Amino acid sequence: MKALITGLTGQDGAYLAKNLLEKGYKVFGGVRRISTPNFWRLEELKILNHPNLKIIDLDITDLSSCIRALNDCKPTELYNLAAQSFVAASFKQPLQTIEASGTSAINLLESIRITGVNCKFYQASTSEMFGSVVEVPQNEDTPFYPRSPYGFAKLMAHWGTINYRESYDFFASSGILFNHESPLRGIEFITRKITDGVAKIIKGKNDCLEIGNLDAKRDWGDAEDYVEGMRLILSAEKSDTFVLATGETHSIRDFLVKAFSCVDIKLVFEGTDLNEIGIDKKTNKTLVKINPKFYRPAEVDLLIGDPSKAKNVLGWKAITNIDKLVQKMINADLKRQS
Ligand code: NDP
Ligand code: GDP
């Protein structure tokens, strides 16, 4: 088996590469040219120098780069994980996001068509496509209502995947993944921002965390479970769309309480709206403040997925629960700060 992964240097790219290498795959990892190499995740997972991992130049916004990668690697599976994946940034760079997270998927699908390379295609779709949700929980048949440039860019790539499946008989599958986190999550995402912030407070490197909307709710799973789901999606008998989720939802407030409790601090909230603060019940010290700079122009308030189809068809389910996930992330950040 030969897999080409776009977005190798990201959270999921690194975990998926590790997963596939352990299963005996030859892995080609697509990396775009940036001024400073960004291999810290591959180093943490100790796979950067794996003999079966070959890093190749690939910028998915450039059709010629995609065609060249397909021709050079001739993969049997192509996982399209590269994207501008941060919702908040997508409001500030909508067109770049549309290119990196939307039309780039069409570059890859077209490259498969042009080169004739016989490979299965996986598209990293997202629960952000459900946005202002029209039903709870969300499954494969729930109508979409994206609330950000990231959400509508990904929706384009999602429909592109389905369209190529139907038009050209491609094995092109889409995983609608709900939020998944890990010690390798980008530091700007709320879970990692919190675990990194808690670790810095404990080590005396910071006093307080500044957060936006505390009421948003997410269905958070563990990235390691989800990359296994991606592999199973391409191992299925036929190409299709699958939701991967835990089926549980928690607020940002809940996540904060859980993260502080991992370091034996009981966090309680006082005040309302912009004046709400999170304090250490024992010492009365303010540990969390609201900063409106982290509010978004449009918000996705409640995401909760129904992973029944993935369970029934693929035998997949999320293994790590939220408490274990928070503890794992806190442990890693405490270690990094010591
Ligand atoms: P990350 O932001 O951690 O990684 C994104 C990757 O895309 C990085 O390797 C980045 O490279 C690469 N990339 C960005 N632009 C380009 C480009 N033009 N050409 C080539 N590579 C590029 O995301 P995750 O690993 O968390 O997510 C993986 C995929 O899954 C993404 O598509 C994301 O949108 C989607 N997704 C993620 C969810 C989650 O909760 N994590 C939920 C649902 C979907 P560089 O290192 O150079 O920046
Ligand atoms: P997303 O679900 O892909 O947008 O993942 P994020 O981790 O970036 O955001 C999850 C939720 O946390 C969103 O509803 C944000 O509005 C909310 N949130 C509240 N405060 C913050 C913050 O300081 N940073 C981020 N990234 N999100 C925040």
Convert the pLDDT of each residue in 173-188 to its tens digit: 999 999 999 999 999 9
Q: Is 150 a catalytic residue?
A: yes
Ligand 2 atom nearest to CA at 213: 19
Please count the other Cβ atoms lying within 10 Å of the Cβ belonging to residue 315: 8
Q: For residue 175, what are the contacts with CB-CB under 8 A and spacing of at least 6?
A: 122, 123, 124, 125, 226, 229, 230, 233, 241, 242, 243, 244
**Pocket flag, ligand 2, residue 299 (CB < 6 Å):** yes
Ligand 2 atom nearest to CA at 210: 23
Is 174 in contact with 123 (CB distance < 8 Å)? yes
List, in sequence order, every residue forming a beta bridge with 243; answer none if it has no partner: 176
pTM greater than 0.85: yes
Ligand 2 atom nearest to CA at 301: 14
**Pocket flag, ligand 1, residue 278 (CB < 6 Å):** no
Q: For residue 99, what are the contacts with CB-CB under 8 A and spacing of at least 6?
A: 61
Catalytic residue among 25, 79, 150, 164: 150
Residue 284, phi then psi, degrees to nearest 5 = 70, 10
Name the residue at shortest CA distance from atom 12 of ligand 2: 190
Convert the pLDDT of each residue in 70-113 to its tens digit: 999 999 999 999 999 999 999 999 999 999 999 999 999 999 99
| Euclidean distance between the first and the last CA atom of the chain, given in angstroms as a whole number | 41
Tokens coding 282:
């024992």
How far apart (Å, rounded) are the C-alpha atoms in residues 168 and 236? Answer: 19
Distance 10 CA to ligand 1 centre (A): 5
Question: Over 90: is that where the pLDDT of 301 sits?
Answer: no
Q: Which ligand does the CA of 245 lie closest to?
A: 1
Pocket mutation for ligand 2, best pick of 190, 218, 253, 273 (most atoms within 8 Å of C-beta):
190
Three-state SS at 207: coil
Q: What mean pLDDT is predicted for residues 292-314? A: 96
Q: Please give the share of the chain, as a percent, with pLDDT higher than 70.
A: 100
**Pocket flag, ligand 2, residue 193 (CB < 6 Å):** yes
Alpha-carbon torsion angle 75, 97, 182, 218, nearest 10: -120
Mean pLDDT for all residues in the chain = 98
